[in-house]
Amino acid sequence: MGYDYDLFVIGGGSGGVRASRVASQTGAKVGLAEEFRYGGTCVIRGCVPKKLMVYASQFSELFEGAAGFGWNVGEPSFNWAQFMAAKDAEIARLEGIYSKNLKIAGVTLYDARAIVTGPHEVTLASDKVITAKTILIATGGWPFIPDFPGSELAISSNEIFELKEQPKRVLIVGGGYIASEFAGIFNAMGTQTTQFYRSEQILRGFDNEVRDHVANEMRSKGVDLQVNMNVTSLKNVKGGIKVVQEGGGQFEVDQVIYATGRIPNTAGLGLEDVGVELGEKGEVKVDQYSGTSLPSIYAVGDVTDRLALTPVAIREGMAFVETVFNDNPTAPDHDLIATAVFTQPEIGAVGLSEEEARKLEEIEVYASVFRPMQHILAGKDEKMLMKLIVSKGSRKVLGCHIVGQGAGEMIQLAGIALKVGATKEDFDRTVAVHPTAAEELVTMSTPIR
């Protein structure tokens, strides 16, 4: 039978946009439905506006340190409304580029919610029915706030980017990327910041030494970070929100932000009704080629709950096109993916943590903790951490972990080294770039354990 489209994509985020554009370039007829704004979580309410907020917040420390380098700076002040207007303008510009590039590529856009109503059929909110040979689900994830007394008073990371006023006091609940990043942002902007995490240490999944280092530095910068702690209830009171915590303690804040996880955005999409298998969290279950339990339907990105990272969604979208439209079955490579967490101080990591590596084989650990040159005249005690995990047998560098300024930039290049199987001796043969913090990666000569 004839279909309206060779490919119809639901979701205009990073994965869906890339798959749409590249598929269209193969000659396929492509349609895409997006119910909100093009760019998805990353561009509209995620990594892009978050990174702009990180940049804005970091100026407070730069102003503080400037005097040590001979600068006389007046009393600095931060204008939340002015920053938010500039941020909104940049996001609008990027959104326009996304939709423009899709149109240039020949993709037909539908600014509407779409649900799957058959193996080859989607229905728009307008009741328009569209048929497609292949359907791609790329609807991403959505913040999750648990149900407890007063939970309706909390906001998620989505709403942070729409706040009209900077809160003077904030409680952030959670211990992952988002919670820890926003604790640093609000604290550096001058907000009295408290962070609760229900377990023993923030940033679960990262190297334990990295986790401890970051948590200690966050506290030294002024974040009231409390682990093994949770909220019992929230209540509106005059002038703010009353927080009742485990153990019975109470305090008031202006805003409570929950960053306790994200769930795949599949609710109401009709997937189970047509036979697409979902997992316990609602994630679309896929094979190595991003195929679902129905041969005509695929899924990429956060909705599959594999690795919730923008570049991963893009790679999955590219691999999907290779598989379906270029007759070249390609599985996305999820191994040795470098990542950055824009906490303050920031983290860059690739490969295994010390704990993971020890479970697999005998290892050597090389680490250096030092005060970088930039902090000395500024009068700051903040330390950087560099750490390499090395296989005793193969000598390969199994993991690289960096905490401090520029960690995200450095880990991109370290990721290349690990991807090609570099050994500790390859690192040692590399002449240091001096004076830099990064030179520590190639000058650590003696294992510490």
pLDDT in tens, 353-412: 999 999 999 999 999 999 999 999 998 999 999 999 999 999 999 999 999 999 999 999
Residue 329: is the preceding peptide bond cis (ω within 30°)? Answer: no
User: Confidence band (pLDDT; 50, 70, 90) for 73?
Assistant: confident
* 65 exposure class (CB count in 10 Å sphere: 0-12, 13-18, 19+): middle
Could you tell me if residue 448 is inside a domain?
no
Q: What range defines the domain where residue 361 resides?
A: 339-442
Residues 6+ apart with CB under 8 A from 432: 439, 442, 443
Q: Are residues 288 and 355 in the same domain?
A: no
Rounded mean pLDDT, 321-325: 97
User: What is the model's pLDDT at position 347?
Assistant: 98
Q: Are residues 168 and 253 in the same domain?
A: yes
User: What is the model's pLDDT at position 43?
Assistant: 87
- Count of structural domains, the chain: 3
Q: Are residues 130 and 9 in the same domain?
A: yes
Could you tell me if residue 208 is inside a domain?
yes
325, 355, 371 — which closes off a domain? 325
Q: What is the pTM of this model?
A: 0.95
User: What is the model's pLDDT at position 236?
Assistant: 96
pLDDT tens string 409-434: 999 999 999 999 999 999 999 999 99
Residue 346 confidence (pLDDT) above 90: yes
Please name which of 81, 56, 242, 54 lies closest in space to residue 166, comparing C-alpha atoms: 81
Q: Are residues 224 and 170 in the same domain?
A: yes
Could you tell me if residue 331 is inside a domain?
no
Q: Are residues 283 and 312 in the same domain?
A: yes
Q: Are residues 292 and 374 in the same domain?
A: no
Say if residues 37 and 48 touch (Cβ distance below 8 Å): no
- The CATH number covering residue 381 comes to 3.30.390.30
Could you tell me if residue 185 is inside a domain?
yes
User: What is the model's pLDDT at position 408?
Assistant: 97
Q: Are residues 123 and 268 in the same domain?
A: yes
User: Confidence band (pLDDT; 50, 70, 90) for 240?
Assistant: very high
Tell me how far apart the alpha carbons of residues 394 and 217 are, in angstroms, rounded to a whole number: 34
Question: What are the backbone dihedrals phi and psi of residue 38, each rounded to the nearest 5 degrees, phi first?
Answer: -70, 140
Query: In 358-423, where do the E strands start and end?
Result: 363-370, 384-391, 397-403
Q: Are residues 290 and 243 in the same domain?
A: no
Residue 83 is encoded by which pair of tokens? Answer: 């920053």
Q: Are residues 175 and 253 in the same domain?
A: yes
Tell me how far apart the alpha carbons of residues 411 and 192 are, in angstroms, rounded to a whole number: 31
| Average pLDDT score, the chain | 96
User: What is the model's pLDDT at position 391?
Assistant: 98
Could you tell me if residue 333 is inside a domain?
no
Q: Are residues 361 and 434 in the same domain?
A: yes
- The CATH number covering residue 49 comes to 3.50.50.60
Tell me how far apart the alpha carbons of residues 290 and 310 are, in angstroms, rounded to a whole number: 16
Could you tell me if residue 319 is inside a domain?
yes
Q: Are residues 295 and 187 in the same domain?
A: no
260, 284, 304 — which closes off a domain? 260
Rounded mean pLDDT, 317-346: 96
233, 260, 287 — which closes off a domain? 260
Task: State the number of CA atoms in the 13 A half-sphere of 396 facing the CB.
Answer: 14
Q: Are residues 157 and 111 in the same domain?
A: no
CA angle (104, 108, 111) in 5-degree steps: 115
- Starting from the edge strand earliest in sequence, which strands make up the sheet with 384-391, in order? 339-341, 347-351, 397-403, 384-391, 363-370
pLDDT tens string 48-70: 999 999 999 999 999 999 999 99
| Percent of the chain with pLDDT strictly greater than 70 | 100
Please name which of 16, 218, 254, 221 lies closest in space to residue 137, comparing C-alpha atoms: 16
pLDDT tens string 113-140: 999 999 999 999 999 999 999 999 999 9
Could you tell me if residue 170 is inside a domain?
yes
Could you tell me if residue 190 is inside a domain?
yes
Residue 319 confidence (pLDDT) above 80: yes
User: Confidence band (pLDDT; 50, 70, 90) for 41?
Assistant: confident
Residue 74 confidence (pLDDT) above 90: no
User: Confidence band (pLDDT; 50, 70, 90) for 261?
Assistant: confident
Residue 186 is encoded by which pair of tokens? Answer: 């609000």
Active site residues: 434
* 98 exposure class (CB count in 10 Å sphere: 0-12, 13-18, 19+): buried
